[in-house]
């Protein structure tokens, strides 16, 4: 199947369709317009109980069109790229724009901010789309998980996904740019039972490169190890103790910052970091750098969803909030320059202070290592944070036993300032690369 699909021919065809849509918008009287399309071809296979459960192929995508008639905006889409279908979609968007209210902040981003060079970020590495190849990987993963220990009572599924696609963006400033990309993953979920209580855990691997995902044997066995380590979990009494948030979760913990400094939250005055730019919100040793042009990384991109050129950015400078994350619409409302974050953030690097999680646990001494979070009660307006959690109780820097059915809580304004240390074990499967985080203390609610 992969041999019959030339991504670069497809990229050229989509660029032509985008150009036709822009020409049509101009012909029908739009003041300005932007057109984007993401298209994907891929295969997903899952197995359960050593049998194939699902095989899914996909080949989809739609052309999204937004036109501006003055400050009025209309949008439509079409998956049919024929000239007549594109023409119909454009006229539909024009009609919608004429019936919407004016918004003085609507419009394209400024032309001088558009990407002018599209670097090759090494994002495209297609893999096999043959079903049998994917089936073999999933079955091998599941077998490794089930054969690891008799205590593993059930495998809740193994899955392999391989997708390749493209993204094209164009607007009436004259920009039409695009690039291909790929993504491959292998995962496994296992269940074990101990004294009438069941525990489950998982393992997964993801990469732009098909030959860089972890081996099926490793994924299966690690999923089982993770599950077995949770057996015999105990509850804790309610207390206030130091807490380590594992590197598998730290990206999400830091990720609440993204919502709080995003333009949408700021102009709605719905952020605990409103008017905090230039103020210290983390310890003075902590910095966060965004690097969108690293080759092969999962969150790398040459331009954002408005066509703005992406560039390196210091988000946190020695504990100080150095930048908000602003789209052109939010920028007009806030009287700020856009930062190239339409569509989200790019690769973030959070610096570390110790070399390993083991060193971090030793520094903590006695406290809680959190390895799983459930549910979500995070108020970005106030910073109040409360999550169901599970993990391990630690004494003298050594894990003693697993714990579950607890809740950790605090306020992000305090928690961010009270980060004590970060280890050098960032999870490369995430877009925010941050090691395990040691917090001075958190409220732990248990018995």
Q: In sequence order, what DSSP letters do the residues of 367-425 get, joined into one string?
A: EEEEEEEEEEEE-TTT-EEEEEEEEEEEETTEEEEEEEEEEEEEEHHHHHHTEEEEBS-
SS3 label, residue 162: strand
Cα 55 to the center of its chain, rounded Å: 25
**Residue 292 CB neighbours (<10 A):** 24
Enter the DSSP assignment of 303. B
Q: How far is CA 396 from CA 111, 261, 353, 368, in A?
A: 58, 37, 20, 11
- The HSE-up count of residue 435 (CA atoms within 13 Å, CB side) is 21
Q: How far is CA 133 from CA 2, 279, 289, 404, in A?
A: 13, 53, 39, 38
Q: What CATH class is the domain 2-228?
A: alpha beta
* CA neighbor of 28 nearest in space, from 92, 111, 72, 105: 92
* CA neighbor of 385 nearest in space, from 249, 288, 248, 234: 249
d(C-alpha 166, C-alpha 234), whole Å: 48
Both structure tokens of 136: 């073999």
The pLDDT, as a whole number, for residue 3 is 41
* CA neighbor of 159 nearest in space, from 117, 203, 124, 200: 203
254: part of which helix (H) or strand (E)? helix 247-260
The pLDDT, as a whole number, for residue 117 is 92
Paired strand residues for 56: 44
- Give, for all 447 residues of the chain, the pLDDT tens digit: 444 468 999 999 999 999 999 999 999 999 999 999 999 999 999 999 999 999 999 999 999 999 999 999 999 999 999 999 999 999 999 999 999 999 999 999 999 999 999 999 999 999 999 999 999 999 999 999 999 999 999 999 999 999 999 999 999 999 999 999 999 999 999 999 878 889 999 999 999 999 999 999 999 999 999 999 999 999 999 999 999 999 999 999 999 999 999 999 999 999 999 999 999 999 999 999 999 999 999 999 999 999 999 999 999 999 999 999 999 999 999 999 999 999 999 999 999 999 999 999 999 999 999 999 998 789 999 999 999 999 999 999 999 999 999 999 999 999 999 999 999 999 999 999 999 999 999 999 998
| Range 140-175 burial, b when 16+ CB lie within 10 A, else e | bbbbbbbebeeebebbbbbbbbbbbbbbbbbbbbeb
The pLDDT, as a whole number, for residue 5 is 61
**Residue ranges per domain, the chain?**
2-228, 233-447
d(C-alpha 61, C-alpha 75), whole Å: 16
SS3 label, residue 323: coil
d(C-alpha 117, C-alpha 177), whole Å: 9
């Amino acid at each position: 199947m992969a041999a019959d699909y030339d991504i670069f021919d497809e990229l050229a065809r989509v660029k032509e369709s985008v150009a036709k849509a822009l020409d049509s918008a101009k012909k029908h009287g739009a003041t300005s317009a932007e057109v984007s399309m993401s298209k994907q071809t891929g295969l997903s296979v899952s197995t359960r109980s050593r049998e194939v459960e699902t095989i899914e192929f996909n080949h989809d995508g739609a052309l999204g069109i937004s036109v501006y008639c003055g400050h009025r905006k209309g949008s439509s889409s079409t998956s049919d790229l024929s000239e007549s279908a594109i023409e119909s979609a454009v006229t539909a968007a024009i009609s919608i724009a004429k019936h919407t209210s004016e918004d003085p902040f609507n419009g394209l981003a400024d032309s001088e901010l558009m990407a002018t060079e599209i670097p090759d970020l090494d994002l495209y590495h297609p893999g096999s789309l043959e079903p049998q190849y994917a089936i073999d990987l999933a079955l091998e993963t599941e077998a490794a998980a089930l054969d690891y220990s008799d205590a593993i009572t059930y495998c809740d599924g193994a899955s392999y996904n391989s997708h390749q696609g493209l993204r094209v963006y164009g607007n009436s400033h004259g920009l039409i740019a695009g690039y291909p990309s790929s993504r491959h993953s292998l995962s496994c979920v296992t269940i074990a039972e101990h004294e009438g209580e069941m525990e489950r855990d998982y393992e997964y691997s993801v990469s732009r490169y098909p030959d860089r995902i972890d081996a099926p044997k490793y994924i299966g066995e690690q999923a089982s190890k993770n599950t077995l380590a949770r057996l015999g979990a105990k509850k804790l009494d309610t207390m206030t103790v130091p807490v380590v948030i594992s590197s598998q979760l730290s990206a999400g913990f830091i990720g609440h910052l993204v919502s709080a400094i995003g333009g949408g939250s700021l102009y709605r005055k719905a952020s605990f970091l409103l008017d905090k730019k230039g103020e210290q919100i983390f310890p003075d040793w902590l910095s966060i750098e965004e690097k969108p042009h690293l080759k092969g990384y999962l969150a790398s991109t040459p331009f954002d969803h408005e066509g703005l050129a992406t560039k390196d950015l210091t988000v946190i400078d020695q504990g100080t909030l150095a930048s908000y994350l602003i789209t052109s619409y939010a920028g007009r409302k806030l009287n700020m320059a856009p930062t190239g974050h339409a569509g989200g953030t790019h690769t973030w690097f959070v610096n570390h202070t110790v070399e390993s999680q083991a060193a971090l646990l030793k520094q903590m001494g006695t406290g809680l290592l959190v390895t799983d979070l459930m549910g979500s009660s995070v108020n970005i307006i106030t910073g109040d944070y409360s999550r169901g959690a599970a993990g391990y109780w630690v004494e003298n820097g050594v894990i003693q036993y697993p714990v579950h059915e607890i809740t950790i809580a605090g306020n992000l304004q305090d928690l961010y300032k009270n980060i004590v240390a970060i280890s050098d074990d960032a999870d490369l499967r995430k877009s925010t690369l941050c090691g395990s985080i040691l917090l001075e203390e958190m409220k732990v609610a248990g018995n």
